[in-house]
Structure 1
Amino acid sequence: MSEVKMKLDNRKRGAFYIEEEGKQIGEMVIGVSDTTLTVYHTEVDPDKEGKGFAKQMFDKMVAYARQEHLQVLPLCQYVHLQFKRHPENFEDIWKK
């Protein structure tokens, strides 16, 4: 299974991403403030869809938000749908 990595620039904008054989195959675009992690967009290469890569990035983002005591603002449709499907799992971090 591929490892999810995170990159942030000096303005705390960046992404969780997955690489396979040196090529980025998925990305979850984020921004971080003192209290909030905003998820803007999640995308996986079309030929890699349906293999759980978006879920891997989602799980890493949730773990990071909890570790850093951040609220998640899910502007991304994928993340918002996950939160809506299982609200009981994300009450502690969901910024509605």
Structure 2
Amino acid sequence: MAIDIIRRDDGSAGDYTASVDGARAGALTYRRTGRWLTVTHTEALPAFRGQGIAYALVERLAADARAEGSRIVPLCWYAREKLNENPAWQDLVEGR
């Protein structure tokens, strides 16, 4: 299963939208303040839960944050849990 992720960022907020075979499968939303990305919500739509959609969104967020020198403030419980579980992402999480 290929998960396609598209990022949209208007300078003050943004989101990642995941799709599978052209169907919307999930999303992650954030607010941007300078180099801070505050994650407000992560979800996989019911038909796609348990397939790694939400994790793929957090993984993409982490990769983009690292590439652009941003830090992540995970208000969303899911993003906070996954970011804190992965040792490779610890340096991206504010307060760690």
Q: 1:5 deviation in Å?
A: 0.8
Q: Kindly provide the CA deviation profile for residues 11-44 of structure 1, in whole angstroms up to 9, marking residues without a partner as x.
A: 4312111123443220001112212111111011
**Correspondence for 1:71:** 71
Cα separation, 2, equivalents of 1:15 and 1:4? 10
SS for the counterpart of 1:91 is helix
- Over 6 Å off, 4+ runs: none
Q: 1:8 deviation in Å?
A: 1.8
Q: 1:73 deviation in Å?
A: 0.2
**Correspondence for 1:19:** 19
**Correspondence for 2:30:** 30
Question: Aligned runs of 1:34-49 on 2, under 5 Å?
Answer: 34-49=34-49
Question: Aligned runs of 1:52-91 on 2, under 5 Å?
Answer: 52-86=52-86, 88-91=87-90
**Correspondence for 2:93:** 94
Cα separation, 1, equivalents of 2:24 and 2:14? 14
TM-score, normalization by structure 2: 0.86
Cα separation, 2, equivalents of 1:63 and 1:23? 23
Please, what is the CA RMSD of the aligned residues? 1.5
SS for the counterpart of 1:50 is coil
Matched-pair identity in %: 24
The number of equivalent residue pairs is: 94
**Correspondence for 1:3:** 4
